[in-house]
Chains A and B, each alone.
Chain A
Amino acid sequence: MPKKTILIIDDEEDLRKLLKMNLESAGDFKVITAANGMEGIAWAQKIKPDLILLDILMPDMDGIETLKILRKDKDTFKVPVIMLTALGYAPFKSRALELRADGYITKPIDAGELKTKIDNVLKGFKGGLENG
């Protein structure tokens, strides 16, 4: 079975690196990373990933804005997106839900929980907007 491609869009460089290392060492994924929304959209259009992990609070273009553009683009509108956030802030969650986000995880993220969440979303099971 070919490895699934995951695009991580997060402005924290160390977190990008570690998430990539953990997901790739779990064996099933190939991970591409982007440091901001614009770069992330460009990668998404280019590689059409199987899933996107998208940070909400980023400078310049935040995750909600990025998701809006991803959902309008013919190449990316169907790609499952899990939102990453440091804020358990309800308006963000409802906005992400409106934009058809497939999941919502509050940092700090445990590698095991993230893997389960990704597997579920890839299987087409939407675990709602809760953690895990």
Chain B
Amino acid sequence: MPIKILLIEDNPDHIEITKRILQKADKDYQVDFAMDSREGLKKIFEGPYDAVLCDYRLAGLTALDILKEMNNKNKDTPFIVVTALGNEKVAVDMMKEGAYDYIVKDVMYNDTLDMVIKNSIERYSAKKEKERLQKEVGEAYVKLKETQGQLIQAEKLSAIGQLASGVAHEVRNPLGIILQAVNYLEKKISPCGQDISETLVMLKNSVNRADKIINALFDFSKAGGMELNPEDVNSILEVSLSLVRAKSKFENIQVVMETKKDIPMVLADKNKLEQVFINILLNAIQAMPDGGKITIRSYDKKLEESRNGIGRREGDCFKTGEWAVIVEIEDTGIGVSEENLKKIFDPFFTTKGPAGGAGLGLSVTMNIINMHRGLINIESYPGKGTKLIITLHTVNS
């Protein structure tokens, strides 16, 4: 393997001498040279060289200037300063700036040059290897944290699944008794005063509320049972919107559809994806008590940028360069604070108060998207609105 050296030296005799020394020491040396600092700097950046041997005293820029310029531009090449006898202090200063080593032009020059260069190259390789390992350790740590997070999430889900069955049985039986008792009282004390009938309605409503929470728990823990088919995401969006329109008031809410025609089919469980869109739309409506605008977008896109869930790592849902279908649902509502944003997909997290729900809507949503090996992201600015972005696999991928 050739060892490519750049020699920056303005004295032609010294160039010749150094070349000879090196070629005598090792036939692998290939010596290129620059006779002034500017040319030297240019060659360094054109590189690559295994090492740069630079005379300290140059016309124009000094070796220190060259080194600083390399540092500014993050150019790391083993840099060795050649100084005259008695100039060691300068050399030490250069070492502080990042020079790999220095060598004094004295009687030892001939014998030590080869060793000095090779030591520097070795140190450079060791440094690079250390950096590579540090990077690998860093990546492994991130991966470990991610896996740990997923494991915790999976454990939570499985625990909630078991809980859901237990809770359903233990709670629905007493709820059944309460409801039957209310039904009985309704009949027995009718006609009754308004306060009594209102109380009975409250009892019934509370039973229904508790029952809805149990249903939500069930939805949340249902992991299996996916029925994947090629589906048109636009028609699922339209059906979901009409279902939400039937259920909720759309007072002062404008809906803008920006769906792309002839979008590729996605591989999805239609009912589950409907549930996802309904959950998000209901959240959007609740976030806009005084009205606002919901924008629904769909488009296909080549995923160029590697980020969480997209890349070439094991466990990434999408590969960079892959085509995917993106659905965005954006509202102009109250938004979510940065602090709450971190917890928004957590089971049982809610800001809506006891009457608002069990805090499972978005965690069910995320669960379903995970089951599709898709991605869900949220962007939100308090006072401005919230955007949910869902990335799904096309049938072809």
Which residues does A use to contact B, with CB under 8 Å?
12, 14-15, 18-19, 21-22, 25, 57, 86-90, 106-112
Check B211 for interface membership: any CB of A closer than 8 A.
yes
A22-B183, A25-B184, A110-B183 in contact; A15/B176 too (CB < 8 A)? yes
- Contacts A19-B180, A25-B184 given; indicate if A88 touches B173 (C-beta within 8 A): no
Asked whether any CB of chain A lies closer than 8 Å to the CB of B56, the reply is no
- A123 to B184 alpha-carbon distance, docked (Å): 25
Chain B residues 201 to 218 lying within 8 A of chain A, measured CB to CB, are 207, 211, 215, 218
Complex CA–CA separation, A57 to B170 (angstroms): 11
A109-B182 Cα distance, complex, nearest whole Å: 11
Chain A CB within 10 Å, residue with most, of B165, B179, B215: B179
B172 within 8 A of A: yes
**Chain A residues, CB < 8 A from B183:** 18, 22, 110-112
| In the complex, chain B residues whose CB is within 8 Å of the CB of A25 | 184, 187-188
Assess whether A86 is in contact with B179, with CB atoms less than 8 Å apart. Answer: no
Contacts A88-B215, A108-B207, A108-B211 given; does A18 touch B180 at CB 8 Å: yes
B178 interface hit (Cβ, 8 Å): yes
Q: Which residues of B contact A86 (CB under 8 A)?
A: 168-169, 171-173, 176
**Residue pair B218, A88 in contact (C-beta under 8 Å):** yes
Closest-by-CB residue of B relative to A109 is B176
- Chain B residue at minimum C-beta to C-beta distance from A20: B180
Q: Mark B8-37, 1 if CB is under 8 A from A, else 0.
A: 000000000000000000000000000000
Residue among A21, A88, A107, A112 making CB contact with B184, cutoff 8 Å:
A21
Q: Quote the shortest CB–CB distance from B320 to chain A (angstroms).
A: 39
B178 CB contacts on chain A under 8 angstroms:
108
Interface size class of chain B, counting residues whose CB lies under 8 Å from the partner chain: 20 to 34
Chain B residues near A (Cβ < 8 Å): 165, 168-169, 171-173, 175-181, 183-184, 187-188, 207, 211, 215, 218, 225
Distance in Å: Cβ of B223 to nearest Cβ of chain A: 13
How distant is B161 from chain A, measured CB to nearest CB, in Å?
11
User: How far is B183's CA from A57's CA once the two chains are assembled, in angstroms?
Assistant: 23
Q: A25-B184, A110-B179, A110-B183 are in contact. List 5 more A-B contacts (CB 8 A).
A: A22-B183, A22-B184, A107-B175, A109-B179, A111-B184
Q: Which residues of B contact A90 (CB under 8 A)?
A: 225
- Checking A14, A87, A111 against B168 with a beta-carbon cut-off of 8 angstroms, the contacting residue is A87
Q: Can you offer 10 A-B residue contacts whose CB atoms are under 8 A?
A: A15-B177, A18-B177, A18-B181, A19-B180, A21-B184, A25-B184, A25-B187, A107-B172, A107-B175, A108-B207
From A14, A88, A89, A111, contact of B177 by CB (8 A):
A14
Contacts of A88 in B (CB 8 A): 168, 215, 218
A108 touching B175 by the CB < 8 A rule?
Answer: yes
B180 x A22 contact (CB < 8 A): yes
A112 contacts across to B, CB distance below 8 A: 183
**A108-B172 in contact given A12-B177, A15-B177 (Cβ < 8 Å):** yes
Contacting B169 at CB < 8 Å: which of A14, A19, A87, A109?
Answer: A87
| Minimum distance in angstroms from B306 CB to a CB of chain A | 40
Least Cβ distance of B334 to chain A in Å?
A: 34
